[in-house]
Homo-oligomer: A and B are copies of this chain.
Amino acid sequence: MKERITVVKIGGAFLENESELETISRKFASMQGKRILVHGGGKRASQISQALGIEPKLIGGRRITDRKTLEVVTMVYGGWANKNLVGRLQSLGCNAIGLSGADADLIRAVRRPVKEVDYGYVGDVESVNVASLQLLLRAGLTPVFCALTHNGKGQLLNTNADTVAAEIAKALGGEYRTSLYYCFDKKGVLRDLNDPNSVIAHLDQATFRDLEGKGIIAEGMMPKLHNSFGALEGGVEEVCIGPPELMTGNAGIFTKLSL
Contacts from A to B (Cβ < 8 Å): 22, 48, 51-53, 71, 74-80, 82-84, 86-88, 90-92, 95-100, 102-105, 132, 135-136, 139, 141, 148, 150, 152-156
Contacts and interface: CB of A to CB of B under 8 A. Distances in A.
Give this chain's copy count. 2
Contact of A156 (B75, B87, B100, B155): B87
B150 A90 contact: yes
Centre residue among A82, A90, A156 by max chain B CB count within 10 A: A90
Given A74-B84, A90-B105, A90-B154, 13 more contacts: A22-B154, A52-B52, A78-B78, A79-B79, A79-B83, A83-B103, A83-B156, A86-B102, A96-B104, A97-B104, A98-B100, A98-B102, A135-B139
A196 B64 CA distance: 46
Main secondary structure of the interface of A (DSSP, over half): helix
A98 B90 contact: no
A156 B74 contact: no
Contacts of A79: 74-80, 82-83
A257 B134 CA distance: 41
Contacts of A91: 152-154
A69 to B, nearest CB: 13
Contact of A75 (B80, B103, B104, B105): B80
